Structure 1
Amino acid sequence: METEVTQQTGEKLLRILVFTLTLSVMGATMFNIVLPQISEAFDLTIAQVSWVISAYGLIYAIGTVTYGKLADTYKLKNLLTFGLLLFALGSLIGVASQEFWMMLVGRCIQAVGAAAIPATAMLISVRYFPPERRGSAIGMAAVGLALGGALGPVISALIVSVAHWRWLFCVPLLLLITLPFYRKYLRDEQGHPGKFDWSGGGLLATTITLLLLGITNETWWFVISGLLALVLFIIRIRSAAQPFVQPKLFKNRSYTLGLMIAFLINGVGFSLYFLSPLLLAHVHHLSPDWIGFAMVPAAIASAILGRQGGKLADLKGNAYLFFIASGLLLTCFVLLSTFTGSSPLFIATFLIFGNVGQSFMLIAMSNSISRTLPKEQVGVGMGLFSMLNFIAGSMATGLYSKAVDLGSEFHLNPANIYPNSFIYSNIFFILAILHVGILMVYYFQFGRAKTKSIQAES
């Protein structure tokens, strides 16, 4: 009886969570298309105002794992309340900003608050649903992410067409509507009491910041300093009585292998969100508005099929969903590599395969990794998973940007006949080959003899 009540509560929370994730993703992506207007308003370069995006993402990544760790000790209800209120405060500061520094402060405060949301999404799926139904729950979270990605550029374009870009800060204020529902339905469940390892958390944050700055800006002193901070972090978690991350977490072979596979998959999959707009702009010369609309069908398809992917994982097993997702992604990469210079309508259609495949991948890997963790490590373990997803995307962005800047006068895919799109064709061709390699690693580690056991666990 208690299990049934918990699941009913979980279903209510999931519906609220979809709305929350949709708005939070919109809040993160809506500023992407207004950087030129912000640059003109404050008389700054695009590189300078890009910190509106970069700072948000960096703080978001660090905050995700921090909230995950705090959720192992404190009530999730209180952490989420703090996060949503902070998100609203940052939004109000952004609306009122008259100087760039004030706007950046508002954006950073937004990020500190928003980081509580992905931690909540993962933990609701794990705490309120048994393993056999967890895939469907994670699938619903994927629906919210897809809807936010679809609506973000469109709503942003609509708002900017009738009002000042500062009003984009007002959209996340709608998240306050969800707060009473979270306070009502989230249990007063509290983890094991203990001290929070601020030193360990600080060293991890320093490591991530320096490594990302070093890689994205090609500043090797940052990279070296980041590696030094990583060494100090490892020393800290091995010596502290209550470390930020338990070292035994990384001795869990299934967990660490899952993290490595997920890191590669997210780096490859991020190409769909980063390269596609560039392809449509540089090769097809579409305006930002039309680029946003071209990417909407793929995001809507992901939203519609997201929960179906979760049900497939519950019914057939995570390995089964992984293989379907791989097939969809490979189809997308091969088609994009071959027909990069064809009609934008074809590109929009190809992206449906890729976005749905990437959503299925998120479900399969989230579900698989969550099952490798003991209950007391779920918060920080899934927080690290979310953080690595962001790091993979950030590193991939740097690599893709450099590749596009270099260009190419030859094509790796002999079926491609569009000279003005060789570089995009080559990147997607390489990504297809790389994904075949990832698929083989997954198959030999979790497929073949282990597929039956994974399906049995599911």
Structure 2
Amino acid sequence: MVHNATHNSTEINDQHKRKIVYLVGLLLTLTVINGTMFNVAVPDISATFELSPSEVSWVMTVYILIFSIGSLVYGKLADIYPIRTLLIISVVLFSTGAILGMVSPNYSMLIVARIIQAMGGAAIPALGFLIPGRFIPRERGVIVGGLSAVFAFASGVGPMLGGVVATSLGWRYLFVLSVLSLLTIPFIYKWIPQENRREGQLDVIGAILMAISVASLLFFITTFSWYTAATFVVVGLLFVGRVYTASNPFIDPSVLENVPYSTTVLVGFFANAVIMGLMFVLPIMLGKYYEFNAFQIGLVIFPGAMASAISGKIGGKITSKKGGIPVMIMGLVLMGTGTFLLGSLIGEPGWVVAACLLISYLSFPLISTAAVDLIATILPPQQNGVGIGLFNLLNFLAGTISTAAIGSVLDFRNIQDSWNPLFTRQGEEVIYSNIFIALTLIVILALLVFILIYVVKREESG
């Protein structure tokens, strides 16, 4: 039996809805900016503690590791415990880690601070995208579209803001925004509806096996150590066995066996691999091939981030009226168009690159909005938390795999054969063109899989 929330959507007036949306949007902004702006501060942190490149990389790696695992754990917890309680705990952890980071006297303390930050920050996107479906279901599409736009916009603004703060004040001040999240706790308590605890329990053994398998996979991706690969295979198999044998598994097998859900997650995985690949390779290409400085690179990327805020709102409105299927198709078409144009127009002026990137950035909030809406529609309410959590986890893995793969490809500087018949230039730009074409092929594969399952199969069954 599932207990109903103390407050439901019919008891929330329009003013209360707006307060919830603004609150979640603010928390999401603080979390996403925190996760992205530290990239530009890595050299300063390295200089402060006299770290090697491999050592300083852990400032980002450990955050991503805990954040990705935590997104699934919080999703599962939200199927059992009240979201309001989880949010308050997460904000306390997030800000506590930030305070420790600001005053950290050594590298070890900084790593501990980032771990605590990630333990709290992981809850924000996991719970933020659940809140509309749980408390404001009739306006879920519009709200998720807006939150997706916030996510995309903050991702673009984060590196620029981080560069300004780190340059003018120092990298320790990057933690200030996270500390300010403490001010949201009274509003979380007042505005997020209280719920009763739902029946169920957390499969601790399954959660531990999941965490170890994900951690070992991430370590393998970044270090290519076969010991971590073996750990992933062994522990991963134990986790799968646990899923199918435990009386109350961490992930219900019916979630994994749900074909529309699995298709949505797979398409989201491909799409996130492409967008994170773009975010990784573009600054490198603009810096090395175009010889742009950090400010010029920011100018190329910023219009896309701004445009994504607009497309998220539009996508949310369309999703509310037409559902997630047409919005997902629209997003994938835009993404593939943008990557193909990038692969064809390298060498053209920077404003041309910015225009092509803008097209790809328009797709990101559309795909996120459609995926969250489809998952909320496909899965029963008691599985929405773990469903969204697994979706978020695989998105993080997709980004990690994509950036690691592209980084390895960029080590090969002698590639001269272009995969794009429309690209006739020779030289260093060929490798970048081929990367963008490879990303385009991934988008095409995702689009074909989505159409096959959601359009063709539905027509056949209908």
TM-score tier by shorter-chain length is over 0.9
- Counterpart CA distance in 2 for 1:308 and 1:32 is 30
- Counterpart CA distance in 2 for 1:449 and 1:387 is 27
Q: Which runs of 5+ in 2 are unaligned?
A: 1-6
CA deviation profile, 1:222-242 (whole Å, cap 9, x unmatched)? 111111101111222333232
- Cα deviation, residue 358, structure 1: 1.8
Matched residue, 1:38? 45
Of 414, 434, 437, 2:445 maps to 437
Paired AA for residue 144 in structure 2? I
Equivalent pair of 1:213/1:219 in contact (CA under 8 Å) = yes
**Count of matched residue positions in the alignment of Structure 1 and Structure 2:** 453
- Counterpart CA distance in 2 for 1:410 and 1:327 is 26
Equivalent pair of 1:147/1:300 in contact (CA under 8 Å) = yes
CA deviation profile, 1:179-200 (whole Å, cap 9, x unmatched)? 2211111122134234322111
- Cα deviation, residue 449, structure 1: 6.5
1:153 aligns with 2:153: no
Matched residue, 1:406? 412
Aligned partner of residue 73 in structure 1, secondary structure? coil
1:88 aligns with 2:78: no
1:184 aligns with 2:165: no
- Counterpart CA distance in 1 for 2:332 and 2:460 is 19
Matched residue, 2:117? 110
Matched residue, 2:282? 276
Equivalent pair of 1:71/1:191 in contact (CA under 8 Å) = no
CA deviation profile, 1:187-226 (whole Å, cap 9, x unmatched)? 2213423432211101000000001111221112211111
- Counterpart CA distance in 2 for 1:2 and 1:152 is 35
Equivalent pair of 1:298/1:355 in contact (CA under 8 Å) = yes
- Counterpart CA distance in 1 for 2:368 and 2:71 is 16
Equivalent pair of 1:17/1:121 in contact (CA under 8 Å) = yes
Out of 239-248 and 365-374, give the one that drifted further.
Answer: 239-248
Matched residue, 1:427? 435
Equivalent pair of 1:61/1:387 in contact (CA under 8 Å) = yes
1:346 aligns with 2:352: yes
Matched residue, 1:138? 144
CA deviation profile, 1:384-433 (whole Å, cap 9, x unmatched)? 11111101111111111111111322211132244221111001112212
- Cα deviation, residue 453, structure 1: 10
- Counterpart CA distance in 2 for 1:171 and 1:293 is 23
- Counterpart CA distance in 1 for 2:173 and 2:231 is 39
Matched residue, 2:327? 321
Aligned partner of residue 47 in structure 2, secondary structure? helix
CA deviation profile, 1:65-89 (whole Å, cap 9, x unmatched)? 1111111111111111010011110
1:63 aligns with 2:70: yes
1:331 aligns with 2:337: yes
Paired AA for residue 431 in structure 1? L
- Cα deviation, residue 249, structure 1: 1.9
Paired AA for residue 86 in structure 2? L
Equivalent pair of 1:341/1:420 in contact (CA under 8 Å) = no
TM-score (normalizing by structure 1): 0.94
Out of 305-314 and 86-95, give the one that drifted further.
Answer: 305-314
Matched residue, 1:306? 312
Identity, in percent, stands at 32
Gap change, CA 1:163 and 1:2, over 3 Å in 2: closer
Equivalent pair of 2:101/2:175 in contact (CA under 8 Å) = yes
Gap change, CA 1:377 and 1:449, over 3 Å in 2: closer
1:48 aligns with 2:58: no
- Counterpart CA distance in 2 for 1:184 and 1:401 is 46
Aligned partner of residue 221 in structure 2, secondary structure? helix
- Counterpart CA distance in 2 for 1:298 and 1:226 is 37
Equivalent pair of 1:147/1:299 in contact (CA under 8 Å) = yes
- Cα deviation, residue 368, structure 1: 1.0
TM-score (normalizing by structure 2): 0.94
Q: Which runs of 5+ in 1 are unaligned?
A: none
Out of 201-210 and 68-77, give the one that drifted further.
Answer: 68-77
CA-atom RMSD, angstroms?
1.9
Gap change, CA 1:139 and 1:197, over 3 Å in 2: same
Paired AA for residue 354 in structure 1? S
CA deviation profile, 1:284-320 (whole Å, cap 9, x unmatched)? 1122232223211101110122111111112223221
Matched residue, 1:121? 128
Out of 204-213 and 186-195, give the one that drifted further.
Answer: 186-195
Equivalent pair of 1:77/1:188 in contact (CA under 8 Å) = yes
Of 3, 17, 38, 2:24 maps to 17
Matched residue, 1:78? 85
Gap change, CA 1:371 and 1:7, over 3 Å in 2: farther
CA deviation profile, 1:146-200 (whole Å, cap 9, x unmatched)? 2211321222122123212111111211212222211111122134234322111
- Counterpart CA distance in 2 for 1:405 and 1:119 is 35
Paired AA for residue 226 in structure 2? W
Matched residue, 2:3? none
Equivalent pair of 1:76/1:190 in contact (CA under 8 Å) = no
Equivalent pair of 2:91/2:181 in contact (CA under 8 Å) = yes
